[in-house]
Amino acid sequence: MDKVFVSPNRYVQGKDLLTRAEGYVKPFGTNFLILADKNIWNIAANQLADSLQKSGLEITKAVFNGECSMIEINRLFDEYKDKKFDAIIGVGGGKTLDTAKALAAKYNLPKVCVPTTASTDAPTAKVSVVYTEDGVFDFLWHHYKNPDLVLVDTRIIANAPVRSLKSGIADGLATWVEARTSIRSCHKTDAGGIATIAGEAIARECEKTIFDYALLAVEANEKKLVIPALEAVVEANTLLSGLGFENGGLGAAHAIHNGFTAVSGDVHHLTHGEKVAYGTIAQLVLEGRPIAELERYIDLYIKLGLPITLEEVHLDKITEEEFQLIGNKAVDPVETIHSLPFKVTADDVIQAIKATDYHVKNYKKRLGIK
């Protein structure tokens, strides 16, 4: 199998970047559709639109309804299909950006991603994660290419909820855990081939950066400050994690996240990264990793206040039948759990999920943490 490496055409990160975005956007043309939800229009999208309009660009504003589903993608396409745009600009969180990428694919136009949080690696990826209207994982839409431009304003991100940054940290911490198993098994990555040396190095550096700077970055976010530690973690959550998962590979952590979508309840109120955090520990359990490595992750998750017990992810009261639904969903033939270099069954997943709860509770008990 060929080695393949993919990436956005251009990634730009900086404080107050939206005030000078026109210099990066103008090469794509003069007429743009900007997609954002109602809240993000007030936080950042109007600022971007005003800046671009002042430089002579034509802007059409579209409102995202909240779920990256085919119903929403088709609604937007039908509403604007008679308009002529030079590119689609998505402003907001992962679901908004994934919808913008899908819409750009239907139009066959360049796509620009402007994340307002560092909560996921969606801004740099060439894939859209599509859900049903009820929030159940549906499928991965693999686009032909990555976004043409990613603009990351760290002032905007410093003012975003701290929960979003923590969620991105959790998602980023899965990058190396999953990539190394995929690399070990020479599994085909989202890039379309086996991992390159560059892909492996980026995934590894993502983990190192987060362990080095996560707590400092969260403190800065709490005070709405832009400091080098925040800049480092924003880059890790967004660029390193995005390139790391696409070019290194995914594993069990994200498959278990998808498994959680198979049951109803408050688990759906958790963010993507919060569910991935639990899945990451469960993958380490599945792999039989040493206790010291397991506790290194558990310790950071606890310090960040991430949900890593069954009670914290609202699954402590589910039935064995519901556990089976999670296990079955996680080992669906299309799932990334099969990149692990050994066969994983639904029961293996269930055992690892339950063992994760036990290990975390035992660790807290030994440290006197309630």
Task: Select which of 187, 254, 338, 359 is catalytic.
Answer: 254
254 is catalytic: yes
Residue 98's closest CA among 130, 120, 132?
130
For the chain, domains (ranges, CATH) are 11-158 (3.40.50.1970), 162-367 (1.20.1090.10)
Task: Select which of 187, 272, 338, 359 is catalytic.
Answer: 272
143 is catalytic: no
**How many helices (H) and strands (E) are present in the chain, helices listed first?**
15, 8
269 is catalytic: no
Task: Select which of 171, 190, 348, 357 is catalytic.
Answer: 171
Q: How far apart are CA 51 and CA 240, in angstroms?
A: 28
Q: What are phi and psi of 196, to 5 degrees?
A: -90, 170
Q: Provide the 3-class DSSP secondary structure of residue 188.
A: coil
Digit-by-digit pLDDT tens for the chain (370 residues) are 899 999 999 999 999 999 999 999 999 999 999 999 999 999 999 999 999 999 999 999 999 999 999 999 999 999 998 899 999 999 999 999 999 999 999 999 999 999 999 998 899 999 999 999 888 888 889 999 999 999 999 999 999 999 999 999 999 999 999 999 999 999 999 889 999 999 999 999 999 999 999 999 999 999 999 999 999 999 999 999 999 999 999 999 999 999 999 999 999 999 999 999 999 999 999 999 999 999 999 999 999 999 999 999 999 999 999 999 999 999 999 999 999 999 999 999 999 999 999 999 999 999 888 7
257 is catalytic: yes
Task: Select which of 187, 257, 338, 359 is catalytic.
Answer: 257
